[in-house]
Structure 1
């Protein structure tokens, strides 16, 4: 009976990620940046139901398209290498606070074109999220910057006359 209680306690300490980290910005040390995209390993389950855990989207992170995957990575091994020790599950997953590296090595990555076909859409596949890097300026921001510079040049030219 005591062994069962210990097992339940150890599982419960892993199971509940809904602590202070959930919904907060993950630290830079857990973010992988590739080709203007920022990636996080959000948990050990599919991002949407049916799933063994729910992923909360926040801080601009969302589910990746095939194009975003292939822009950033070249293979399962590349993904595994990039995310070695970088689990952000406590920041995104409402059930689990860990990631399963073994799932990546067998190709169980949710909604990734690199995933093994039999694992791609499974509830137990690892979920990764992506957002546009803050290092890439938005077109509207560039337009306003350009207009501001033109305005400054015009003011400077008129003040010289």
Structure 2
């Protein structure tokens, strides 16, 4: 039988903040990792003998999996950008490099939507499904990414004058 609600609540109260702090150095979204670990603990059958040690091990594994997944995603995005860059022979290499650098500076959720929409040529509905958000949220993130990208590139252009 899994842990009861009272035991789980006590563990969350006593360990969640410590786990977030511990995981923060291992991946970008410590909150998600810790939440996932507690969700897994809630359904673990039978419950582990040492729940705290189990939570730390699960958090470590989830954080590492997320870190590697993020790294692979960035590598795929960069590889895709390089392929697209070689296809645009008429574009100025300096402009392309500045644009790609500006894309890399975007927040993860904005970059994810922008890359999926522009380079992946996905519809907003497909982007929303991919990101696990509503179509409206995907559209807002796409607009915010374009606005941020435009602002970064305009600032660079003004600085070059």
Q: TM-score over 0.5 for the alignment? A: no
TM-score normalised by the chain length of structure 1: 0.26
Question: Whose RCO is larger (CA < 8 A, sep 6+)?
Answer: 1
Higher fraction of strand:
1
Higher fraction of helix:
2
TM-score normalised by the chain length of structure 2: 0.26
